[in-house]
Structure 1
Amino acid sequence: MRASSDNLLAWAATHSPDRRTAVGVLALRVRHYFSDGAEPAPSSLPDLRVRVRGQAELPLWHASSGLYGFLRLPPGEARVEIDDPSGRYLPQAISAVVPDRRALRDALEAAAAAAAIAGPPPAYPQVALRPAPGFGLSPATCALWGVLREGSRAVPGALLSIATVRDGGPDTVSTLTGRDGSYLIVLPGEVINRGVTPPQRRFDRALTVRTPRPALAAALASQGFLAALPADVFSLGAADRDALFAPRNFQLRDAAGLLHPQQAGQNPPASVSVGQSVRLDIELLP
């Protein structure tokens, strides 16, 4: 009679954390995103909803290793969907290849101790989640937030990126508009320029907006935001990205209602202030 997954984990739990994750096939590490050029936060994010499309198995959260582990996924390519029930982080989906480790699992379930079975290691994909408008910023955080609209309609699932700085060099922060068209861009690398008098704390940064093309927009509306979201959306190559998202012209409107229009056919820069969270609504142009 085969042992259950609980028994398998009970055996693994008597050994090291590495042994416990080794009995699985896919172990996902989810961390907090800072920027395209910076490493994600070192600690993993707990309390997330992690699913593999088409599979009923739910992952086990392993607190000491910070991994969401799956034991019985079939081998092959899988779409992993990550969502935050608390609304702190934007949903995201990634593609992962699940190795075939059935021989090892069968050997472990048939015996009380591990057998020396050759086979591929588990898959250890990583994903960095972007903060959502509901994240809850600490005071003095440099950030932009607002809503992306086309006319009176909010636009969900748009790709936003802004040129910023990190450690004195160029960097980029990227995000998506959420289900309601709202966005949050946190800029942790912006610092006061004390090399001028008075010190400069306000900077104009180039903002890029790409909205879903009609097929993707229809899927987001009909299938649901996470279900239709492209996998690995932030690491798409230029051709794949451009097939799904169209670059758009826009104007900005600040919290006081003041319009920042295009100048000489160029989109307006986004004005960011060190230590302040600034509202800038994005209004798409035809």
Structure 2
Amino acid sequence: ALRRSLNLVTVRVLQNLIRKPSLVVEYAHKMGIKSHLDPVDAIALGASDVTPLEITSAYGVFANGGVRVEPMAILRVEDQNGNVLEENYPKRQEVLRKQTAYIMTDLLQTVINRGTGARARYMYHFYPPAAGKTGTTNDYSDAWFIGFTPLVVTGVWVGIDDYTISLGKGQTGSRAALPIWANYMKCLYDTLNLPPVKFEMPEGVVRVKICADTKKLANDICPNKIDEVFETKFAPTEYCDKHVNLFSPNRNKRKKKGRIRF
């Protein structure tokens, strides 16, 4: 659902599992969102306004394994002789567990690998491990793409401050914002010769194959299998019981008709 931007599912997760929009607001603020957020169900749809810097910084928490890093424009100032006149160090704070950050990152990777952000791969040829999410507001007045690798977080917003003005029909996040993100990231990686580092799986997380139908551990004969990551304590332990007899030796044998003997 996430990779295809089926937002109704996100709302149902909030209503049926989280149940408290105020909890979403609390975590958003922990992750770096400073703008006011209304604690309502529509927050799952992105109903509140935030700045590009805020949302990009928040996605950095996933890239950093749950650690929030305060954005900083100037790290160091030197004079003409190389003497350091000023040096700043970013503030770091753990706001999510490593396991939570990794599972969220794994979900967001599907957006780029085979979801609404897949054009970054097949059209713009950016291939390092990456995760991200498209965003589109009503009437196409805003288009977003926030994406990250283990090394870089980049956010792109395309829009106009006047919400009554549309970017044009069909100008979604994947069409208007993603191309800018993908071209920039490819240029950055090529210019700096950055390595295609993979996201590191922390302890306490496992990757297993599950049956797409039963959501239990997949058997060899399950027709549709999915790779999923779980916290170890929540990983399924039972195997699929729906496809066990799918290719039973007796499945295709014609049953003999009973004979009546006199």
TM interval, shorter chain, is under 0.3
> TM-score, length-normalised on structure 1?
0.23
TM-score, normalized by length of structure 2? 0.25
Of structures 1 and 2, the larger Rg is shown by 2
Q: Which protein is richer in strand relative to its size? A: 1
Structure with bigger RCO (C-alpha 8 Å, 6+ apart): 1
User: Greater share of helix residues, 1 or 2?
Assistant: 2
